Chains A and B, each alone.
Chain A
Amino acid sequence: MGIYESLNERLYLDKIVEFSKKKKVPVFYGTIWYYLGGVSLFLFITQVVSGILLLLYYQPGVATAFESVRFIVSKVEFGWLIREIHSWSANLFIFFVFIHMFTVFFAKAYRKPRELTWFSGMLLLFLAMGFGFSGYLLPWNELAFFATKVGSDIAGSIPGIGDFLLRLLRGGDEVSGATLSRFFGIHVAIIPAVFTVLLGIHLVLVQVQGMSIPPELEKVPEKDRRYMPFFPNFALRDVLTWLIILNVVALLAVFFPWELGVKADFLAPAPPGVKPEWYFMFMYQTLRLLPAHVWFIEGELLGILTFMVGGLIWFFVPLLDKKAKVGERSKFWNWFGIILIIYMIAMTIWGYLV
C-alpha cells in the first residue's frame, strides 16, 4: 500500500482532493480583487517569520530595547534586512488589508451569506492596527515614545472607560517600562494568538462559501459565466503575486530603510514631527483640526465618538445594507464608501503636509 493510500484511510484525503478539484474562481473584470486577500495572508506570514527571527535578539525593557534593535541592525548579519522587512511588510500588510476591505465592500461581497466573513475580516483589520500600534513602540525610540503617549492619551479621553483604558494600555499612569513590557506581550503573544484563530475562521468561511461575485454578475445565467480552476491556475497566480510582493518588500527594505532614530528619554522634550503611523493619520488629523469646543462638547471627544460610531456602522454594514440582501446595489452605501475613501486619503495627505 502506498503512502497516499495509508494516509487517506486515516485522514480522508480523497475528500480534500475532491474539494480542491471542484474549487473554482469566477473570471471577470474583478478577478484581480481575489488576489488581495491572498496578498494580505502572505504578508502576515512574512510578519510572523520575520517577527520570530527578531525575537531571537530583541530584548524588551527600557535599558535594552533600543540597544538590542541597534544591535540587530548593526551587528547581526542581515539583521538590518530582517528588521526592514518586518517594518515594511507591516505597512504593506495594513495597506493591503485596507484595499482588500474596500474591494470587498464595493463588490458587495458582505451580503448574505457572507456576513460572518465580513465581521471576522473587520476584527482582523482592528487587530492588524493593534499589531502596528504595539510594534511601533518596541524599538523604544523618541518618536515612538511620544506617539504612544499621544495615542494612549487619546484613548484615555473616551468618556466612562477612558481612565481605565489608559491605565490598561500603559500598564500604569505613564508610558514607561511597564508599557513596553505590556506592548511586547500584546505584540508577540496576545494579538498573534487571537489573530491566528480569527484568520482560521475567516479562511474556512471563504473556503466553505466559495468566491462571491458582484450582484450584476449573479444575474448572468450560470452557463454564460466563466471560471478558472483554483488548482492549479489560480493558485499559481497567487504564488506569482506573492513572489512579486516579496521582491517589492525587499526592494523597499534596501532602498528606503526605516530609521531607528534616537532612544526615548523620559526627560527630553518632545521633538517636532511626532506623528502616528500613516494608517492612524486620517483620524489623528481630524482630531487635530477640531476646535477645542464644538458647541458644548469637547472637540476631541466629539471626534473620538464620531469615529467610534462610524467604525460600528462600517462593521455592521452587512446588516444595515438592506438592498444588498436582495442582490441590488444601494446607491447610498456606494456613496458612503466613496466619500469615506476620499475623506481618508485627503486627511492623510493633509496630515503629512502640516
Chain B
Amino acid sequence: MNSDYSDIVNTSKKQTRRKFLDVILGAGFFAWIGAVLYPIGKYLVPPKVADISVDSVEAGVIGEFPPNSSKIIRFGRRPVIVFRQHNGDFHALSATCTHLDCTVQYKSETEQIWCACHNGLYDIEGRNISGPPPKPLAQYQVVLQNDKVIVTRGEMT
C-alpha cells in the first residue's frame, strides 16, 4: 500500500520533471531556429544607402539642347529628363513614370512627356494628363549659368 503510493508520487514527480525538460528543450530549439533565421533574414534586406544627396547636376552646355530636344541625366540615383521646348524654354522633370516606374521620354511633336510602357502622358509641367499615371512627375529647376544648363532640386528663389 505504502510503496504503491510512493510510486505514484514518484512517477508524477518524474512526469513534471520530464515536462519541465521538454519545455526547456522545446523553447531552446525554437530559440536556436530563431538565432539561425534572424541574421539570414536581416542579411537579405539590403542596407539603406544614404541617397547620394545632390542638389544640382550639370546637364551639359546650352549648345547640346537645340530647341525641341531632350536628354535624360542622372540626378543622384534617379533619372531626370531635361528638355527644351520649341520656344527655347528649359524644363526638368523626374523621368520615372509615376505609374509603374518606366523611364519617360519627350515627345517633340506635341511637346509632351510620354511613357511608352502603358501610354501615359504628362504635360511639360509634369501633370499627368492621360493614361494610367496616378500622379504628376516631380519638377526640377533649370538654371542657365553662362552656357551651362544646371538642374537643381525643388523651388528656386
Contact = CB atoms under 8 A, between A and B. Distances in A.
A28 interface: no
Nearest to B119: A272
A149 B101 contact: yes
B134 A292 contact: yes
Contacts of B104: 269-270
Interface in A270-320: 270-274, 288, 292, 298
Contact of B103 (A168, A172, A178, A269): A269
B25 interface: no
Contacts, number: 65
B103 A174 contact: no
A274 B117 contact: yes
A173 B101 CA distance: 11
Contacts of B35: none
Given A150-B117, A168-B44, A288-B132, A266 B74 contact: yes
The range of chain B's interface size is 20 to 34
Nearest to A273: B116
Contact of B46 (A178, A266, A292): A178
A130 interface: no
Contact of B102 (A146, A164, A172, A174): A146
Majority-rule SS of B interface residues: loop
Given A146-B117, A153-B101, A292-B132, A269 B45 contact: no
B100 interface: yes
B49 interface: yes
Contacts of A267: 72-74, 79, 103
Nearest to A290: B132
A180 B149 CA distance: 33
Given A267-B72, A269-B72, A288-B132, A274 B46 contact: no
B115 interface: yes
A164 B132 CA distance: 24
Contacts of B132: 288, 292
Interface string B41-80: 0001110010000000000000000000000111001110
Contacts of B85: none
A268 B101 contact: no
A65 B68 CA distance: 35
A202 interface: no
B139 interface: no
B81 to A, nearest CB: 8
Question: Which among A171, A175, A269, A274 has the highest number of chain B CB atoms within 10 Å?
Answer: A269
A191 interface: no
B118 interface: yes
Contacts of B49: 172
Contacts of B78: 174
Interface string A138-151: 00000000100110
A150 B100 contact: yes
A292 B100 CA distance: 13
A232 to B, nearest CB: 46
A153 B115 CA distance: 15
Given A167-B45, A292-B132, A173 B117 contact: no
A206 to B, nearest CB: 30
Given A152-B101, A168-B45, A270-B104, 20 more contacts: A146-B103, A146-B117, A149-B100, A149-B102, A153-B101, A154-B100, A171-B46, A267-B74, A267-B79, A268-B72, A269-B81, A269-B95, A269-B102, A269-B103, A270-B116, A270-B117, A271-B116, A273-B116, A274-B117, A298-B134
29 contacts: A149-B102, A150-B100, A150-B101, A150-B102, A150-B117, A152-B101, A153-B101, A167-B46, A168-B45, A170-B46, A171-B46, A172-B46, A172-B49, A173-B77, A175-B101, A178-B46, A267-B103, A269-B72, A269-B81, A269-B95, A269-B105, A269-B116, A270-B102, A270-B115, A270-B117, A273-B116, A288-B118, A292-B132, A292-B134
